[in-house]
Amino acid sequence: MSKIKPSKGAPYARIMGVGGYRPTRVVPNEVILEKIDSSDEWIRSRSGIATRHWASPEETVTAMSVEASGKAIAAAGISPEQIGAVVVSTVSHFKQTPAVATEIADKIGAGKPAAFDISAGCAGFGYGLTLAKGMIVEGSAEYVLVIGVERLSDLTDLEDRATAFLFGDGAGAVVVGPSDVPHIGPTVWGSEGDKSETIKQTVPWNEYLPHSRLRSSGGTPTGDVSKLPLNERGEIKFPAITQEGQAVFRWAVFEMAKVAQQALDAAGITADDLDVFIPHQANMRIIDSMVKTLKLPEHVTVARDVETTGNTSAASIPLAMERLLATGQAKSGDTALVIGFGAGLVFAATVVTLP
């Protein structure tokens, strides 16, 4: 018989506040067209993207996260010292250790919370939200700060016609806290590792010899420089994100629509009960196709933040949520379906009540 006392967490959890930060520099399609043979019309028709934000050297992953977190904490009506855990989802923090979450926790004045990073690509916000809910119900934290942040401009190949126009930078954050009634539904999540090659980094860091000092235990540089990708001028390209566009599109539209429906079923609601749909802001065509496949009613507000923010991976859902609330397109208490999906391939969907 166990001698461990039962946990004293809250019955349920809820999102209490949301905040976002977009870099000050707005980059129109015309800037992208300086490096690729395309047109503004083609980019808009393929992705729905007109502009995106790119971070300055000062707008680091940490700096953007601190700004977004401050807004989320203020909206939640708590103090930074009450944060018991900080969870950061990102693929663009280039230090292997320590976790950027520890630096962010210190800079927002959170005291000594648990702090760690996760790498779940565009599904990272959903993964973080699920972890936060578990911590609150289990009792290991009363309030959890979940951050999705990316500087994908650092991982964009501006000469890749298929991806150069897609990515943007930014940070979104939410505070998750206790609740007496359910405001975050069960998460439907998973992975399909057999499709991992469809979205990936072009070159592992340990093979990028020209700008690294990574060595094997014997002191010999690792990797083979002859395998590194070159541009048309014969220059070695910096590691970047690449994807098989059509394969990703088909997977996102058909398979993720099934996952979204499973999340509705798990929450015990139907599409008619929804007020808001906030999918990962990958591509406008994917969003519109999912709306059609799910047969969402006309009254459901659909986040289309991708038009002016681009694809910000883990940051896209909280950024879109923040904009919907700030512009009045959604309101506190609305029921929203959120779903993230991307590199891995990984996915996570749940139904939440907006703060």
**In angstroms, rounded to a whole number, what is the distance separating the alpha carbons of residues 250 and 262?**
18
Bridging pattern class, strands 25-28 and 188-191 = unpaired
**In angstroms, rounded to a whole number, what is the distance separating the alpha carbons of residues 19 and 94?**
24
Question: Residue 115 in contact with residue 174, Cβ under 8 Å?
Answer: no
Question: Residue 147 in contact with residue 69, Cβ under 8 Å?
Answer: yes
User: Most distant CA pair in the chain: distance in Å?
Assistant: 70
Which residues, 6+ apart, have CB-to-CB distance to 304 below 8 Å?
A: 48, 281, 284, 287
Which of 316, 196, 313 is CA-nearest to residue 247? 196
Kind and range of the H or E run holding 13:
strand 12-21
**In angstroms, rounded to a whole number, what is the distance separating the alpha carbons of residues 185 and 67?**
28
Q: Which residues pair with 116 in a beta bridge?
A: 87
Supply φ then ψ for residue 336, to 5 degrees. -125, 140
Question: Residue 86 in contact with residue 113, Cβ under 8 Å?
Answer: yes
Question: Residue 101 in contact with residue 86, Cβ under 8 Å?
Answer: yes
Residues known to be catalytic: 122, 280, 311
DSSP 30-82: HHHTTTSS--HHHHHHHH--SEEEE--TTS-HHHHHHHHHHHHHHHHT--GGG
